[in-house]
């Protein structure tokens, strides 16, 4: 794309030669001719001075620092994301319907559906227009995918699950597996059939090897515009609200309800049957055992990395916390007795 075409697509003014051709996005430090980058913080001006990028997306107030062409935008990082989409060269997941794909006669396929090798489409499955399904994916009976949704290879969608439009699901993810529901009969586990579904909204992205379990009775629900990273576990009857972001390795126990626009850091663990308010931020490696009722609050836990010597001292002291607590109680009582005696 020409610089002037990119600027028009962003509805932003530009300076410099708008006829220069841009082939790809790049890091500001390593960018070369024919590439576009961005600067969102003027403290990296030194990098900008040395950059060979043909064009830089930058805030209007920093325009004077640019030697060549620039597109003037209020949020350079967001503009960078938009341009990366425009110049994206990621190949299609599938094109056409591969002869090895197995499609049940009762399935309904929209226009321009693409199925890769060895895809299995079960009975009464419904696929919207422009759906792309990669090699070796399996869709169980009555599963539904909305228009424009893409599944990378080796995704499994169990029966009755519903996925909205323009979703993207990475390889190895399993949606609709059984929730972890059992009763105990004198030491013997008795399985409880999981008869709910997984219902996913529009524009949801799910990373590789993530598992989202179907509901026990009611549905597991992922609302629209949610992004979930790799290797996450979403247990039965969890509800994740609109616009929430979940980083890699996070585990949700059963029946957690997460509000809208939350940010959950990687490898966090959320206890079952709790509620998280809207716009809550949870730092990485948090263990959330109780509901968080205050919107827009931030929570952290875990122990930051220390040298081994420091950690050994900390761990040793933690083992004596209970003793120290009782000694402190005793001292407080003695101090109070002395004060009362006066």
Tokens of 5: 């075409």
The overall pTM is greater than 0.85: yes
291-342 pLDDT, tens digit each: 999 999 999 998 888 999 999 999 999 999 999 999 999 999 999 999 998 7
Q: Which residues are catalytic?
A: 236
Phi, psi dihedrals of residue 332, rounded to the nearest 5°: -65, -40
The pLDDT of residue 187: 97
**In this structure, are residues 37 and 80 in contact, taking their beta carbons and an 8 Å threshold?**
yes
Model pLDDT, residue 45? 86
Residue 107 and residue 111: Cα distance in Å, rounded? 13
CA–CA separation, 42 and 28 (whole Å):
13
Q: Which parts of the chain have pLDDT scores under 70? A: none
Closest by Cα among 219, 186, 218 to 201: 219
């Amino acid at each position: 794309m020409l610089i002037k075409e990119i600027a028009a697509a962003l509805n932003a003014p530009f300076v410099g030669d708008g006829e220069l051709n841009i082939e790809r996005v790049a890091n500001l430090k390593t960018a070369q001719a024919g590439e576009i980058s961005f600067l969102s913080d003027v403290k990296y001006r030194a990098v900008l001075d040395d950059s060979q990028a043909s064009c830089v997306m930058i805030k209007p107030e920093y325009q004077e620092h640019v030697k060549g062409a620039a597109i003037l935008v209020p949020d350079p990082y967001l503009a960078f994301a938009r341009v990366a989409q425009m110049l994206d060269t990621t190949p299609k997941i599938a094109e056409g319907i591969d002869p090895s794909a197995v499609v049940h006669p009762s399935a309904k396929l929209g226009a321009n559906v693409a199925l890769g090798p060895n895809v299995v489409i079960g009975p009464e499955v419904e696929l919207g227009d422009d759906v792309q399904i990669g090699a070796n994916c399996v869709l169980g009976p009555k599963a539904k995918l909305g228009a424009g949704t893409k599944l990378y290879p080796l995704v499994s969608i169990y029966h009755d699950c519903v996925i909205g439009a323009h979703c993207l699901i990475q390889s190895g993810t399993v949606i609709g597996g059984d929730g972890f529901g059992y009763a105990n009969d004198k030491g013997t586990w008795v399985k409880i059939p999981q008869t709910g579904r997984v219902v996913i909204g529009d524009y949801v992205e799910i990373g590789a090897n993530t598992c989202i379990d179907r509901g026990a009775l009611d549905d597991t629900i992922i609302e629209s515009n949610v992004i979930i990273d790799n290797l996450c576990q979403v247990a039965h009857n969890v509800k994740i609200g609109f616009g929430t972001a979940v980083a890699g390795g996070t585990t949700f126990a059963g029946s957690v309800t997460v509000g809208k626009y939350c940010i959950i850091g990687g490898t966090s663990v959320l206890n079952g049957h709790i509620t998280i308010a809207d716009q809550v931020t949870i730092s990485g490696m948090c263990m959330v055992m109780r509901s968080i009722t205050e919107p827009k609050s931030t929570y952290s836990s875990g122990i930051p990395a220390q040298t081994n010597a420091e950690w050994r001292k900390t761990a040793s002291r933690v083992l004596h916390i209970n003793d120290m607590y009782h000694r402190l109680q005793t001292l407080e009582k003695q101090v109070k007795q002395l004060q009362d005696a006066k």
